Structure 1
Amino acid sequence: MRLQLALVALTAASAALVATPAQAAAHPVLKPGAKGKHVTYLQKALKARHYDPGAINGRYGQDLRFAVLAFQKVNGLKPTGTVGGGTWSALAHPRNPARIISGGAANRVEVSKKHQLVVVYRNDKVQLITLTSTGSGKRYCYKGSCSIARTPSGDFKVYRKINGVRHAPLGTLYKPLYFYKGYALHGSPSVPLYPASHGCARLPMRHTADLVFKIVPIGTRVYVR
């Protein structure tokens, strides 16, 4: 029931709030720290397009910034976090995220290492689009053993979830969803716009990581490309 309610909340956006070109010209430039009705409008518009702006509270905080960055990436805009005319206009005719596979399970998670994005699908429809930061490709060493920080590509599925914090040898994982060996989708306080992890797919904390944990059950297919 909780999963169904979460999915209903995510898909109840048929009357999406989006900016027309005229409205885009009327909207102010918004940056982190901004407050007011225009921020509320932006939060509602992004949520209607399956991004996660966090609480709809009229405050431009970290959750909204991550949502804006993801939206800008998907729509071919420079990901700055600043909402100007280009972003407002894109809200009128937003792009769908590029699929990284042909076919695949109807209920799935797609992890794009190229675009550093995660897209959650339910019944083959987008439920959530968010940023990720995958393996950095750099060499690292732990207890005398050295490896390259890579996120494996392939077709996997979620086989374990931990509803809390796991202190792993290479770092702290918030609400991890394991999809292959020790690799997981998990919340992290650091999700830059480039690959930076030891191999896991980082997710923004806390709101987005909480949401992914809620709407992605064990057994969900995970495609990494």
Structure 2
Amino acid sequence: MSRPIALPLAAIVACLTSCTTIPELGGMMDRGGTSGRKIEVDLTDQKATLFQHGKVVAIAPISSGREGKTTPTGRYRIIQKSPDHRSSLYGNYVRNGEVVKENIDIRKGGRPPGSRFEGVPMPYFMRFTGAYGLHAGNVPGYPASAGCVRLPPRHAKRFYEAVKIGTPVIVRR
């Protein structure tokens, strides 16, 4: 196959076989800001989709709530955004810079003497109801969170930058 045909063909194959799409959203911000945007979260397919005026502009893999810690379904709106949010429920107890008790739920068990609670980082947090939100985190390919919707870091940042307080979020099975 000649080189002029091989390169475009390789690019087409790469696009068609990729699992997710996340275009550069920067240019979108210049054309109408964040109006007409919404996020749909599909818990069955483990994906989040960003729409603008009814058109898909980005799709990202997610990890939603595991068994016993399900992500709530329904229609919501973004009610808080925090680029460097930390959990107020899950994290570690730390003393003198050293973790003395890890992976804890602050509502269970006691705090070791002289320690302080340090919440798990949840970068690019977008709260949509109660303690639930979308944020950057580990996405192993199946439901594994404590109820939030985790996105890969680069996707979380782009979704975060693309929406504002009040943006609709629809979570469905």
Which of 1 and 2 has higher RCO (CA within 8 Å, sep 6+)? 2
| Deviant stretches of 4+, over 3 Å | none
Q: Which of 116, 122, 126 is matched with 2:52 structurally?
A: 122
> What is the Cα deviation at residue 181 of structure 1?
0.6
Indicate whether 1:185 and 2:134 are aligned. Answer: yes
1:201-222 CA deviation, whole Å, 9 max, x = no partner?
Answer: 00101x2111011001110111
What amino acid is aligned across from residue 125 of structure 2 in structure 1?
A: P
CA distance in 1, matches of 2:141, 2:23: 17
> What is the Cα deviation at residue 118 of structure 1?
0.1
Report 1:34-49 matches (<5 A): 42=14, 45=15
Contact 2:22 2:57 in 1 (8 A): no
Question: What is the match of residue 162 of structure 2?
Answer: 215
CA distance in 1, matches of 2:57, 2:150: 18
What amino acid is aligned across from residue 222 of structure 1 in structure 2?
A: V
Report 1:59-98 matches (<5 A): none
What amino acid is aligned across from residue 156 of structure 1 in structure 2?
A: Y
> What is the Cα deviation at residue 52 of structure 1?
2.5
**5+ long unaligned stretches in structure 2:** 25-35, 91-119
Indicate whether 1:199 and 2:117 are aligned. Answer: no
| Pair 172,107 (structure 1): closer, same or farther in 2 beyond 3 Å | same
Question: What is the match of residue 71 of structure 1?
Answer: none
CA distance in 2, matches of 1:187, 1:166: 11
Question: What is the match of residue 175 of structure 1?
Answer: 124
Contact 1:151 1:200 in 2 (8 A): yes
- Greater fraction helix: 1
SS in 2 for 1:212: helix
Indicate whether 1:224 and 2:171 are aligned. Answer: yes
What amino acid is aligned across from residue 166 of structure 2 in structure 1?
A: G
SS in 1 for 2:39: strand
CA distance in 2, matches of 1:183, 1:23: 46
**5+ long unaligned stretches in structure 1:** 1-21, 28-37, 55-105, 138-147
Question: What is the match of residue 162 of structure 1?
Answer: 82
Question: What is the match of residue 104 of structure 2?
Answer: none
Question: What is the match of residue 109 of structure 1?
Answer: 39
TM-score, normalisation: structure 2: 0.64
> What is the Cα deviation at residue 160 of structure 1?
0.4
TM-score, normalisation: structure 1: 0.50
> What is the Cα deviation at residue 53 of structure 1?
7.6
SS in 2 for 1:163: strand
Contact 1:166 1:175 in 2 (8 A): no
SS in 1 for 2:146: coil
What amino acid is aligned across from residue 149 of structure 2 in structure 1?
A: A
CA distance in 2, matches of 1:129, 1:116: 10
Number of aligned residue pairs? 125
> What is the Cα deviation at residue 199 of structure 1?
0.2
